[in-house]
Amino acid sequence: MSERDVDAQLVARVQRGDKRAFDLLMLKYQRKIMRLLSRMIRDPAEVEDVAQEAFIKAYRALPQFRGDSAFYTWLYRIAINTARNWQAASARRPVTLNEHTDEDGETFSRIDNLTDNSTPESMVASRQIVDTVNAAMNALPEELRTAIVLREIEGLSYEDIAQTMGCPIGTVRSRIFRAREAISAQLRPVLDNDSDRRW
């Protein structure tokens, strides 16, 4: 049985009045939603509040869920819209890729694990790469940042991202391409400088 089938069964149980089934869905997706929101909202306490609000909205809207998309795609869209509403209400600029809030280490800071950290020089180079990627992500317009996070960090398919963001797949591909290009442009000088070094 696929994940989508399991979710569909849980959704059907919730729609029949089984509140425990929603608890299972919430447990299954809470960490992913928190990780997604932590890339849009600076304050970890606010991330928790927005996540809770998103789950409440999802629970209230679940009777109207028809299953045209996967449950998690539908839930991600609710979470993103809830975060956008919070941002508009608080007039704060979103911040992405907060390494300290990502318990799974599924950010670009994983680069730290791919390099030899045995020398001070390699540690500095690694930190510079992480900082550059994070700064490039922060500088992206929201629609590009959301698309690249959903694809590269959350692992969603282009189809699921299109449903989550409410736009055509071609638009998703364009946004991801532009985001990658912007990040690469910022990262290229750092990587070129690093490769020119001779220790």
In this structure, is the dihedral angle defined by the CA atoms of residues 28, 30, 35 and 40, taken in order, positive or negative?
A: positive
Distance between CA atoms of residues 78 and 73, nearest Å: 9
Q: Give the tens place of pLDDT for each residue, 161-190.
A: 998 899 998 899 899 989 988 988 888 887
pLDDT band, residue 120 (cuts 50/70/90) = low
Q: Give the tens place of pLDDT for each residue, 128-148.
A: 777 888 888 888 998 999 998
Distance between CA atoms of residues 133 and 109, nearest Å: 9
User: If you count them, how many residues does the chain have?
Assistant: 199
pLDDT at 27 over 60: yes
The structural domains of the chain, ordered by start, are 1-92 (1.10.1740.10), 105-199 (1.10.10.10)
pTM of the model: 0.58
Distance between CA atoms of residues 143 and 40, nearest Å: 11
Q: Give the tens place of pLDDT for each residue, 48-63.
A: 889 999 999 999 999 9
Please give the pLDDT value at position 121.
65
CA separation (Å) from 120 to 114, 116, 123, 134? 15, 10, 5, 21
Q: Give the tens place of pLDDT for each residue, 60-113.
A: 999 999 888 889 899 999 999 999 888 888 754 444 444 443 444 444 433 344
Please give the pLDDT value at position 103.
40
What average pLDDT does range 22-30 have in this prediction? Answer: 91
Assigned token pair, 103: 């318990």
**Residues 77-107: b if buried by 16+ CB within 10 A, e if exposed:** bbbbebbeebbeeeeeebbbbbeebbeeeeb
pLDDT band, residue 9 (cuts 50/70/90) = very high
